Chains A and B, each alone.
Chain A
Amino acid sequence: MNDKTALTLTVNDRPYEVSVEPRLTLADVLRDHCGLTGTNSGCEHGVCGSCTVLVDDTPVRACLMFAVQARGRRVRTVEGLATGDQLHPLQQAFIEHHALQCGFCTPGFLMLATGVLEADPHISDEDLLDTLSSNLCRCTGYQNIVKAVRAAAAQMRTLRMAAGTPP
């Protein structure tokens, strides 16, 4: 009995042909079938946020969405952030502000912050704190994550201005 579903996932603008059981979450399929292990699986029931990815540019918990539900959607993971050797402003800011220690939560925080900063480059401090409370970090105490995201937000606004995109 073949209870697998064949589908094409679009991840970081690349197609991935996979054949998976419907019960597999997007997090598991990204890791085990697409080989994209940058997305970490932590609690696997939506609490920790380490598996956060963007689906159609919106942050979601990849452990609470089945991979078959991502058919026809645009998935973005931490592997898609850098351009060649050029780190994304958020990645660079996380290094400069020591916003990680063990690094397990980092891909989730990066994708969460990418999603909210792209949607709202002028996000208020109140909204930013509300957003960053979504994911668990057991090393940093969050202060440096907040600093890094604020710094990256400023950098991303500057880059948008330079590119002629309304900030």
Chain B
Amino acid sequence: MKPAKFVHHTPSTIAQAIALLAELAPQDGRILAGGQSLVPAMALRLAQPAHLIDINGVAGLDRLAVDGNALSIGACVRHAAFQRPPVQGPLGALLATVVRHIAHYPIRTRGTFCGSLANADPASEWCLVAETLDAELVAGSTRGMRHIPARDYFQGVMSTALEADELLAEVRLPLPALGTRTGFYEFNRRAGDFALAMALVLYRVEGGVIVDAHVGVGGVEAHPRRISAAEKALNGRAESAETFAAAADAVADAVLPIEEQPEAAAYKRGLAATVTRRALESAAQNRHENTGAVQ
């Protein structure tokens, strides 16, 4: 239960970190940010990187601020930074709700938002948030900065579009339109455990009907995914138990659970439908709370 030997590098600028990564990635070098997934993997000897490029001392990476129409989250912004809404309006309230489901407080004080996205665990809450909100990911390398839309980023279980020599420097979450309703629901057996299934929904109501629905499901497939069939079942219809049930059914039909065993897969499909329905109910009920800032 002790990590293997590695060389510890401590760059102080992004340029230094990227240069070190370009040099050391071919020699099994990796970025160390919060370390709350990487260090356990090292303790279990599942990961034995030869070099760790520790970005905790890199100036500017702890920036969390609104930039134009997006919330910009730097590579060293900790989960705990979201325990209080980091921005007014529906996005801040949503992030402060979701963070309560991420591990436990002493993990949240070290683990980072961007680290979760770089790790890309199928049960990661922040990965679901990035996918459902159509986040933009900014990857830095010696070739420059590359902007990756979330829909192109997730490729499989802990597999992403990031190259070995790219640092995930920033994630940009678009600010939802004023009046957007949000709902999140996660199922697991114990508080703080990995999600068995979770859903995140966003929509607005205009002229009495749902518009611009986003329905994301995580913890079920190899990576979180927006379910377009469920979004179609919502758009243009009034908020109602029937509409929400139709969207939940669409999720059950659309998802392809990681589990190969038929009983386990069927359970996950049912669970995905249930968390979707509950997320939708939460969005409908919390409308005042989540839109209070703009009324």
Contacts and interface: CB of A to CB of B under 8 A. Distances in A.
Interface of A: 3, 5, 21-25, 28, 44-46, 49, 52, 58-61, 63-66, 68-69, 112, 116, 130-131, 133-135
Residues of A contacting B: mostly: mixed
30 contacts: A3-B5, A3-B7, A21-B5, A24-B2, A25-B2, A44-B1, A45-B1, A45-B39, A46-B36, A46-B39, A49-B106, A59-B105, A59-B106, A59-B109, A60-B106, A61-B110, A63-B39, A64-B35, A64-B39, A64-B107, A64-B110, A65-B35, A65-B110, A69-B54, A112-B105, A130-B105, A131-B104, A131-B105, A133-B191, A135-B104
B40 A25 contact: no
A22 B107 CA distance: 21
B267 interface: no
Contacts of A3: 5, 7
B8 interface: yes
Q: Which of A46, A65, A116 has the most CB of B within 10 A?
A: A46
A5 B110 contact: no
Contact of A130 (B4, B107, B110, B191): B191
B24 to A, nearest CB: 14
Given A46-B107, A59-B106, A63-B39, 20 more contacts: A23-B5, A23-B42, A24-B2, A46-B40, A49-B104, A49-B106, A59-B105, A61-B36, A61-B106, A64-B35, A64-B36, A64-B39, A64-B107, A66-B39, A68-B8, A112-B106, A130-B191, A133-B104, A133-B192, A134-B107
A114 to B, nearest CB: 12
B3 interface: yes
Contacts of A66: 8, 35, 39
A58 B4 CA distance: 27
A140 B2 CA distance: 29
Contacts of A61: 36, 106-107, 110
Contacts of B4: 23
A130 B191 CA distance: 8
Interface string B105-136: 11101100000000000000000000000000
A134 B193 CA distance: 10
Interface string B226-268: 0000000000000000000000000000000000000000000
Give the 3 A-B CB pairs with smallest separation, nearest first.
A134-B104, A22-B8, A45-B40
Given A22-B6, A60-B109, A65-B110, A45 B104 contact: no
Q: Which of A3, A22, A28, A52 has the most CB of B within 10 A?
A: A22
A22 B192 CA distance: 29
Contacts, number: 81
A132 B44 CA distance: 26
B19 interface: no
Nearest to A63: B43
Contact of B43 (A21, A45, A58, A59): A45
Contact of A23 (B2, B40, B192): B2
